[in-house]
């Protein structure tokens, strides 16, 4: 588990670097699967930029996922449930977003999850063009790093309501495409990147931010001009791009 802790700390600090403008103060969170029954997640109120081992809380996956099954649940119930999900009573309270981390980490080939609020991405996610940004593609490297499309989630109250919406829309995406998404975009909120390695999470995050910057620039010039479905499929199916993904530890 020590290797996972070290990798998760490095991932959190990469996403929390001030110069990247992805998260400030206690924004954002990261997680890692430890086993089929346990996962690590950033503790509530801790900073990604200065993440330490004591800022990570080991949780029982089943106890966190049980929160999603409750028909009615109050904020107090969520707080109590998260505290009860801690494997060690001395650990800090898990992030309020632990529920979506627990569910995403149960997906095939997902070992790490990173969530942040990039300024560039939120410029688009807080605009009427948010769905275009999520579901269409502008350039080949966006397809390679972020997938042919992303899951788009309309604004939903953070915590359990958001986790439920992510679960529903990601399940639909998997049924439609046959594989898990690499990127989930949250309207008026931020992004979630998931992958088998920390490098997959950071690569997806950084490319999503780059795509947002290009989107804003293209929109100011009368665009964007999106790639066609045929061109997206061509990039997604090229053997040389599969090789590049392997080299990027996707």
Residue 42 belongs to a domain with what CATH number?
3.40.225.10
Percent of the chain with pLDDT over 70: 96
Question: If pLDDT is split at 50, 70 and 90, which confidence band does 237 have?
Answer: confident
Distance CA 68, CA 228 (A): 37
Whether pLDDT at 238 is above 90: no
Question: If pLDDT is split at 50, 70 and 90, which confidence band does 245 have?
Answer: low
pTM assigned to the model: 0.95
Chain mean pLDDT for the chain:
95
Whether pLDDT at 202 is above 80: yes
Note down the domain range covering 160.
2-247
- Ramachandran angles phi, psi of 242, nearest 5°: -60, -40
- DSSP H or E stretch at residue 166: helix 160-177
- Ramachandran angles phi, psi of 142, nearest 5°: -65, -40
Domain count across the chain = 1
Whether pLDDT at 174 is above 70: yes
């Amino acid at each position: 588990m020590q290797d996972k802790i070290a990798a998760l700390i490095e991932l959190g600090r990469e996403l929390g670097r001030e110069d990247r403008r992805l998260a400030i103060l206690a924004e954002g969170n990261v997680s890692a699967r430890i086993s089929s029954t346990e996962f690590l997640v950033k503790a509530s109120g801790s900073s990604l930029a200065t993440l330490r081992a004591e800022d990570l809380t080991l949780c029982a996956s089943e106890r966190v996922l049980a929160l999603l099954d409750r028909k009615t649940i109050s904020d107090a119930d969520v707080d109590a449930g998260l505290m009860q999900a801690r494997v060690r009573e001395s650990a800090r309270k898990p992030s309020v977003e632990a529920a979506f981390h627990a569910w995403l980490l149960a997906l095939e080939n997902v070992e790490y999850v990173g969530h942040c609020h990039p300024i560039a991405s939120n410029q688009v996610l807080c605009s009427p063009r948010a769905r275009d940004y999520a579901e269409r593609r502008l350039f080949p490297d966006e397809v390679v790093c972020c997938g042919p499309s992303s899951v788009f989630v309309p604004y939903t109250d953070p915590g359990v309501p958001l986790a439920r919406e992510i679960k529903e829309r990601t399940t639909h995406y998997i049924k439609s495409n046959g594989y898990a998404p690499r990127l989930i975009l949250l309207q008026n909120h931020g992004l979630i990147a998931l992958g088998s390695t920390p490098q997959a999470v950071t690569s997806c995050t950084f490319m999503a931010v780059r795509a947002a910057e290009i989107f804003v620039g293209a929109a100011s010039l009368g665009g964007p001009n999106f790639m066609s479905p045929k061109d997206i499929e061509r990039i997604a199916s090229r053997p040389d791009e599969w090789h590049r993904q392997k080299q990027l530890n996707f």
